[in-house]
Amino acid sequence: GMGEGGAKALCDVLRRLGDGYRHLQQYRGKEAIAAFEKLSASEGNTAWVQVQTGTAYFNMAQYQMAEQSFQKARKLEPSRVVGMELYSTVLWFLKKEHELCYLAQELVALDKTAPQTWCVLGNCFSVQREFETAIKFFQRAIQVCPSFTYAYTLAGHEHVSNEDFEKATASFRSSLRTDERHYNAWYGLAIIYLKQEKYQLAEYHLRRALAINPRNSVLYCYLGIVLLSAGSCFEALQVLQDAIDLDPANPLAKLRKAMALSHLDRNLEALEELEQLQQLAPRESMVYMQMGKILKKLGRLQEALACFNHAIDLDPKGGNAVKAQIDRLQMQDVEEDDSFL
């Protein structure tokens, strides 16, 4: 046999794996990752551990870190299919079209009966904005495995991209019928209500998502956008700060926080947020556009004009909105429009 020492060592490994898995099921990503990192190099060097780690990062919307874990998992076990649907969504978020299509080809060769394979194929077409084809593949995943929750959610997001909110709602509801703790579907429904300007419903569904997964900066960010749109600027500010605390590099949260501050007439603070954001996203025309609006409010018209011109240089296609802002610089008394989406 393995002797007492060996048995104890095995129990220790199993306990750490169990701890990590339990934290992961409770959406405590940091703790899950910490538990897996306590494993020795040889114990942690399995595809299963790497997929769990990747999933933890995915749930916290830390896609670059997730990508590294999923890549390791594939190196360790090239024939692995389970978990690859999340890897494909990570690649989708990172806009890595080439890697995503390669993953799809590999999985088709490995297993055409697995719902994961069809989800990866769907994401491969989704990233190319071929929504109809993507939906067909997600439906195929549901056909081969009707209890595969994630396929309903992915189909829902495609319907949203297609502006088909009725079908999207049905998809997300099917998702929650198979697993009511599937936070992505609560989030999906919230996005629909946000687009329909049903802010109370959007807030309710985002809070349901956050009750399940409280470590995801993107969920806080969207809750902030909903609260801003509903005119609760002060509350929005707190929620957006939560988003930034969870992920200091989340540019969307910083941008919305600046807008909330500006709404509360805390324009210098708003400007400071945007200056920090410039460091994070120096090529983002939207940042200069917002800076221009705030400088205009502060009566610093030359600087505002410089920001608007820079925004046009960065994004000539979006130039019309900026030109309208420049026209308004000449007519100081025009009412501001501040749409948040």
Q: Which of 313, 255, 257, 312 is nearest to 287 (CA)?
A: 255
Q: What would the two tokens of residue 149 be? A: 């929750």
DSSP code per residue over 40-54: -HHHH-SHHHHHHHH
Is residue 180 helix, strand or coil? Answer: coil
CA distance 185 to 150: 9
Q: Which residue type occupies 122?
A: G
CA distance 247 to 249: 5
The alpha carbon of 36 is separated from its chain's Cα centroid by a whole number of angstroms, namely: 24
CA distance 98 to 331: 48
Q: Is residue 192 within 8 Å of residue 165, measured between CB atoms?
A: yes
Q: Taken in order 92, 96, 97, 101, is the CA torsion positive or negative?
A: negative
pTM of structure: 0.88
Q: What would the two tokens of residue 9 be? A: 């060592």
pLDDT digits (tens), the chain, 341 positions: 667 888 888 899 999 999 999 999 999 999 999 999 999 998 999 999 999 999 999 999 999 999 999 999 999 999 999 999 999 999 999 999 999 999 999 999 999 999 999 999 999 999 999 999 999 999 999 999 999 999 999 999 999 999 999 999 999 999 999 999 999 999 999 999 999 999 999 999 999 999 999 999 999 999 999 999 999 999 999 999 999 999 988 889 999 999 999 999 999 999 999 999 999 889 999 999 999 999 999 999 999 999 999 999 998 887 777 778 888 776 654 444 444 44
